[in-house]
Every structure is written in structure tokens, then in C-alpha cells.
Amino acid sequence: DAGVIQSPRHEVTEMGQEVTLRCKPISGHNSLFWYRQTMMRGLELLIYFNNNVPIDDSGMPEDRFSAKMPNASFSTLKIQPSEPRDSAVYFCASTALANTGELFFGEGSRLTVL
């Protein structure tokens, strides 16, 4: 079975450019999460969706970050404009299980902002 699919796997861009990261959750999963992982801060929850609706975006760093989930099989995380401190690995995860922490993570998108 296909797991969570993220693209691109690697992105190198220059400061000020727009970055869009994409995620396809596992079919049938109704909750989707975006995490960011850095050496300095570890793994941080940015936002999560339930049934395509954003439930908690308190982890989104600032207005430069936005996330959408237009349908059950697709989500985007956009950074505009990007800054060097946004360099990180961004993970998408999904689950169909209520009352559990068993999330299924994608392989991540490594973003480097020069």
C-alpha cells in the first residue's frame, strides 16, 4: 500500500522565493498533520486538519506560512516569502484512528533556503 507521499523530496531556493510543499495522505485517513524538524527545535507540529478542516494552526510560525487542504487526498504547505531560517525537513503525516498517536509519516521534504 502507498504510504504518505510528499513532494518535492528536496528543494533548494533563494531567500524571498515562494515554496510549496505537497502531501498526499493515505487513502481513507481523515486527519492530516504538518510537522517541521530542525536540529535546534526538534519535531514541531505546525498545523493539523480533520476532515479537510484546519483544527489547530497555533504551531504555524508566522503569516509567511499557510496550509490548505482542498480535498481529502491533497494538502499544501506554502511559505512566502521564504527565509534561511525556514530551512528544515517538513513532514506530513496522516491517520484514520481517533484517540491514538499512531501517525503515518511521509519521508519528508528537505528545504534549504539560501
Partner 1 sequence: GESVGLHLPTLSVQEGDNSIINCAYSNSASDYFIWYKQESGKGPQFIIDIRSNMDKRQGQRVTVLLNKTVKHLSLQIAATQPGDSAVYFCAENINTGFQKLVFGTGTRLLVSP
Q: Which residues contact partner 1 (rule: CB under 8 A)?
A: 4, 31, 33, 38-40, 42-45, 48, 50, 55-56, 91, 93, 98-108
Q: How far is the CB of 78 from partner 1 (least distance, A)?
A: 20
* Calpha distance 96→26 (Å, rounded): 9
Please say which residue, 2 or 18, places its beta carbon nearer to partner 1. Answer: 2
Q: How far is the CB of 80 from partner 1 (least distance, A)?
A: 24
Close Cβ partners of 90 (under 8 Å, ≥ 6 residues apart): 6, 21, 34, 35, 36, 37, 46, 77, 108, 109, 110, 111
Please say which residue, 48 or 80, places its beta carbon nearer to partner 1. Answer: 48
Please say which residue, 6 or 18, places its beta carbon nearer to partner 1. Answer: 6
34: three-class secondary structure by DSSP:
strand
